[in-house]
Structures are given as C-alpha cells and as structure tokens.
Amino acid sequence: MSLKVAFQQSNSVSTFYPDEKPVIDVDLRTCPKKDRPRMISMINRLAKSELGRETLQIAAENGYHFNFIRGKNRAFGFADPVSKRIALNPAFSDEKLIGTMCHECRHAGQFVRASDLDEEKWDVKTNLIYMRAMEADAQAYAASACEELHRLGDTGPKQEFYKYYPEIAKGFSEALIKNDGKLGHNLLTDTFKAWYDQLGTKSVYEEGYLLEPMQQELRNIAKGKGSMTFETSISAQKTIAEIAWTKDGNYFRDDPEILNGGKYLDVSEFTMEQMKKFFEFRKEMTGKDDSKALNGIPTRPNTIKPRVPEMKKPPVSQINPIIKKILKNKEMLKKNTLAAKFVKAQKFAAKHAR
C-alpha cells in the first residue's frame, strides 16, 4: 500500500538474540529463520509503545504475516490486504523500520475497518479524501508511537522519523507544544492534519494513486478491458469514522468536513492538467463523460518535478479493433452532423457564387 520513497539508506547495527520470542503472537512463518531474530527484535521494541502494541495486535489478529522485502526496492515497507502481508525493507536501519512497522500495521487495521476498498469504482474526490486520510492516520500513529518509545528511553525511532519526514515532524513538534506534551486524541488529530503540509509527498501520492492508474486505464480501454467507473462516493464523515478509529473511540477532534476543501483536497496543477486529459481521452474512446468528477477540486502550484509521463492516448496500433471502429464511427458521425452539413453547404455556395 505504501508509496513512501527513500533517498538515503543506512545499515542496522542492532544486536539480535536468537532465542528472543515475540511478545505479540505474529505470523512469522514466511519470514526466513535467519531473518526472524531481527524481525522479532523490532516487534518487541515497537510493542513497548502502547500505540505500537495496539497496531501489532490488530495486524496479528487479522492474519497478517511479517517478512522482509527481497531484492532492490526503494520503499521502506508495505502492507498488502490481499496477501495479508506486512513487509519491511531490510536495507534500512531498525530505528527507521520500527516507525515503518507501526505505519504498515496501522494500514492493516484500516483495511479491516474499510467498508469499500474497490478503488476502481471510487470517484476522484473519494480517492483523494480516503487515500490521504489513510496515510495521514498511519503517520500520526507512527509519530506518536515513536514519541512513546522516546519517553521510554528508546530514542532512535523518533530521530529517524524526524530525519525522513521533516514537514510532518515539524507539525508533530508544534502539536506537542500546543497540547502541553500530552499524548492522546488531540495530538493525533493535529498530527493527522500536519500530514497535508507535505506538498511533495502529496504530489507523489497523486501520481501513484491517481495518474498511474488512469494511464493504465487508458491502456486497458484500448484493449477493451476498461474497469474504472467513478461511481462510488465515500463521505468525509464516513472516512474519518473508519480511519481514525482507536480502541478508546474515534480520535479526530475537528469537523470531518475540512477534508472537502483547501489543503486537504487540493492537487498540483500538473495533476489536474493530466486528469483533464485522461477524461478527454476516455470520452473519445468510450463516449463516457465523467469530467464532472473534477468539479470542486482546488489546485496548488507545482512543487516537484513530475515522476510520471504526461497523459497520452494509446497509439492506434495498440487499440483493439472494436474500439478503433467505435472511434471511426464517432468521427464520421461528427462530420455528418447538421452543423457540419450547414458549413459544408455554405462553403459550396461561396465557391460557386458568381
């Protein structure tokens, strides 16, 4: 699920104990025996945090298995609701991965509580609101868990969190001051909102959650296999009810309606431009006009160089013969409209006028 990207790596220097047992009964059957001491060490460190233990227990109770990513990969980790897998990148330090583990376990809990994870049916606004809320919530939990560990003397995870996420770390620090250093629902709320100040991060997620799927959809349509419908809408209230859950009740202290505008909903100018192109190409290829899905979504200036290519209609050579025929018929129909005939008649009259 996570699209977090790393730009620097560090090797772990932690000491592991072969006989150490996990304090939470997590599924390690797919984790090679040689890797288990390291995984168990991180599990046990995270479990010392109240929020960390909560996320671990939920993931374990819902059948998630833990292991490490194999091969080169820039992601810190991910949670897969289909295979029930939580995977961490062993190239990074334990201190970094403890926060990541909390983040991904929180995603596992979100997947359990979500009433509808059929993203191919979500409208654009729902995608922005729900996906962003999932990330904001997971980071709020990870930041708070790292703070709990810090107060217990395990300072590394917090230091690494602050190093990799300076913008949300700034928001978290300000929230700590605002809340007199108290952990709890108000701190989680303020940290959740601070996630939306990460302009570069939002742009990366827009590319991963919106633009890349849209590009793939155009390729699918060309093959006669399009599947995105944009028919499902999930309200901000329902999003918060499902995402901001805790065992002590929902932590979100603001009106969920704030997610319907401003920094919570805006997209970069590049993202908006590409989405408009997508709906234009999609209409040409299928006749379906869903451009209204972009109504009410504000834009912000571009802040990072795009990592995805511009939206393009698939080459004719790649288009299914049936779709080609539809496009050809549309073009012929366009040429034979009453207006087109009228213009043609005018040109004919002008050409032969004496």
Two tokens, residue 129: 């609101």
> What is the Cα–Cα distance from 92 to 72, expressed in whole angstroms?
12
pLDDT of residue 327: 52
- 349 HSE (CA, 13 A, CB side): 6
Strands 85-88, 267-268: pairing kind: unpaired
pLDDT of residue 16: 73
> What is the Cα–Cα distance from 193 to 253, expressed in whole angstroms?
11
Q: What does the radius of gyration of the chain's CA atoms come to, in whole angstroms? A: 25
What residue has token string 């194999």? 70
Q: Check if the beta carbon of residue 145 is closer than 8 Å to that of residue 55.
A: yes
pLDDT of residue 10: 39
Strands 267-268, 299-300: pairing kind: parallel
Q: Which DSSP string do the residues of 159-174 spell out, in sequence order? A: HHHHHH-HHHHHHHHH
pLDDT, averaged per 10 consecutive residues of the chain (354 residues), comes to: 36 66 97 97 98 98 97 93 97 97 98 92 97 98 98 98 96 96 97 96 96 95 90 96 95 98 98 97 91 95 95 78 55 47 44 48
Residue 10 sits at φ, ψ, to 5 deg, of -145, 145
CA-to-CA dists, residue 103 to 41, 91, 97, 125, 163, angstroms: 17, 17, 9, 24, 16
> What is the Cα–Cα distance from 144 to 46, expressed in whole angstroms?
11
What residue has token string 């868990």? 145
Residue 326 sits at φ, ψ, to 5 deg, of -60, -45
Residue 146 sits at φ, ψ, to 5 deg, of -65, -35
Within 8 A by CB and 6+ apart from 325, the residues are: none
Within 8 A by CB and 6+ apart from 90, the residues are: 12, 35, 38, 68, 69
pTM of the predicted model as reported, rounded to 2 decimal places = 0.85
> What is the Cα–Cα distance from 118 to 126, expressed in whole angstroms?
11
pLDDT of residue 225: 87
Domain ranges of the chain: 1-113, 116-319
Q: Check if the beta carbon of residue 139 is closer than 8 Å to that of residue 195.
A: yes
What is the domain class of 1-113 according to CATH?
A: alpha beta
Bridge partners (DSSP) listed for residue 299: 267
